[in-house]
Amino acid sequence: MLPDQADLDRAVALLQAGELVAFPTETVYGLGADAANPAAVSKIFAAKGRPPDHPLIVHLACDGGLEQWARDVPNNAWELAEAFWPGPLTLILKRSDAVPDAVTGGQDSVGLRVPAHPLALALLRAYALAGGGVAGLCGVAAPSANRFGRISPTEAGHVRDELGAAVPLILDGGRCEVGIESTILDLTPGAGRPPRLLRPGRVTPEQIGSVIGVLPEIVPRRMNDGAPRASGSLAAHYAPATPMRLVTTARLPEVVASLRQTGRRCAVLCHVRFSDDVEAAHAWRRLPAEARGYGRSLYAALRELDQTAADLIVVQETPDTPAWAAVTDRLRRAATGSGGGSSTA
Ligand code: TXA
Ligand code: MG
The continuous run of DSSP H or E covering 217 comes out as: strand 217-218
pLDDT band for 277, please (50, 70, 90 cuts). confident
pLDDT band for 228, please (50, 70, 90 cuts). very low
pLDDT in tens, 235-248: 566 789 999 999 99
Q: Which amino acid is at 250?
A: A
Dist CA 49 CA 149 (whole Å): 9
Q: Give residue 146's Cα distance to chain centre.
A: 10
Which DSSP letter does residue 28 get? S
Q: Is the pLDDT of residue 222 over 80?
A: no
Domain 244-338 classified CATH 3.40.50.11030? yes
Q: Which ligand is nearest to the CA of 32?
A: 1
Q: Is the pLDDT of residue 227 over 50?
A: no
| Of 19-28, 68-77, 82-91, 186-195, minimum mean pLDDT range | 186-195
| Of 188-192, 213-217, 305-309, 320-324, minimum mean pLDDT range | 188-192
SS3 category, 222: helix
Give the residues across from 196 on adjacent strands: 186, 217
Domain 5-224: assigned CATH number:
3.90.870.10
Which residue among 26, 57, 196, 229 has the greatest number of ligand 1 atoms within 8 angstroms of its CB, and so is best to mutate?
57
How far does residue 252's CA lie from ligand 1's centre (Å)? 34
Q: Where in the chain is the domain with CATH 3.40.50.11030?
A: 244-338
**Rounded (10°) CA dihedral 288, 291, 292, 296:** 60
Q: Tell me the residue ranges of DSSP E strands in 174-287.
A: 183-186, 196-199, 217-218, 244-247, 266-270, 283-286
pLDDT band for 102, please (50, 70, 90 cuts). very high
Which residue among 28, 31, 184, 203 has the greatest number of ligand 1 atoms within 8 angstroms of its CB, and so is best to mutate?
184
Q: Where in the chain is the domain with CATH 3.90.870.10?
A: 5-224
Question: Rounded to the nearest 5 degrees, what angle is found at the Cα of 239, between the Cα atoms of 237 and 243?
Answer: 130
Dist CA 338 CA 165 (whole Å): 25
pLDDT band for 155, please (50, 70, 90 cuts). very high
Q: What pLDDT was estimated at residue 238?
A: 77
Q: What pLDDT was estimated at residue 2?
A: 65
Q: At what angle do helices 118-129 and 5-16 cross, to 10 degrees?
A: 60
Q: Which ligand is nearest to the CA of 55?
A: 1
Dist CA 14 CA 33 (whole Å): 9
Cβ–Cβ under 8 Å, residues 93 and 66: yes
pLDDT in tens, 2-21: 679 999 999 999 999 999 99
Dist CA 116 CA 319 (whole Å): 28
Q: Is the pLDDT of residue 221 over 90?
A: no
Give the residues across from 247 on adjacent strands: 316
Q: What is the mean pLDDT of residues 216-240?
A: 63
How far does residue 107's CA lie from ligand 1's centre (Å)? 13
pLDDT band for 219, please (50, 70, 90 cuts). confident
Sequence-distant (≥ 6) Cβ neighbours of residue 146 within 8 angstroms: 48, 152, 153, 158, 159, 162, 163
Give, using CA atoms, the residue closest to atom 23 of ligand 1: 230
Q: What average pLDDT does the chain have?
A: 92
Q: Is the pLDDT of residue 324 over 90?
A: yes
Give, using CA atoms, the residue closest to atom 22 of ligand 1: 230
Q: What pLDDT was estimated at residue 262?
A: 93
The continuous run of DSSP H or E covering 102 comes out as: helix 101-104
Cβ–Cβ under 8 Å, residues 256 and 268: yes
Peptide bond into 86 cis (omega under 30): yes
How far does residue 14's CA lie from ligand 2's centre (Å)? 22
The candidate with the shortest Cα–Cα distance to 147, out of 303, 297, 295, 315, is 303
Q: What pLDDT was estimated at residue 298?
A: 98
How far does residue 29's CA lie from ligand 2's centre (Å)? 10
Half-sphere exposure of residue 148: CA atoms within 13 angstroms, side-chain side? 16
Q: Tell me the residue ranges of DSSP E strands in 142-235.
A: 169-170, 183-186, 196-199, 217-218
Length of the chain in terms of residues written: 345
Q: Which atom of ligand 1 is nearest to the CA of 232?
A: 19
Half-sphere exposure of residue 141: CA atoms within 13 angstroms, side-chain side? 33
Q: What pLDDT was estimated at residue 220?
A: 73
Q: Which atom of ligand 1 is nearest to the CA of 230?
A: 21
pLDDT band for 224, please (50, 70, 90 cuts). very low
Q: What pLDDT was estimated at residue 225?
A: 41
| Ligand 1 proximal residues by C-beta, below 6 Å | 25, 27-28, 30, 54-57, 88, 90, 92, 104, 107, 109-111, 115, 142-144, 181-182, 184, 198, 229-233
How far does residue 210's CA lie from ligand 2's centre (Å)? 28
Give, using CA atoms, the residue closest to atom 30 of ligand 1: 229
Q: Which atom of ligand 1 is nearest to the CA of 103?
A: 26
Q: State the pTM of this model.
A: 0.94
Which residue among 58, 90, 178, 330 has the greatest number of ligand 1 atoms within 8 angstroms of its CB, and so is best to mutate?
90
Which DSSP letter does residue 249 get? T
Residue 156 has φ and ψ, to the nearest 5°, of -60, -35
Q: Is the pLDDT of residue 342 over 80?
A: no
Give, using CA atoms, the residue closest to atom 10 of ligand 1: 143
pLDDT band for 337, please (50, 70, 90 cuts). confident
Q: pLDDT exceeding 70 applies to what percent of the chain?
A: 93
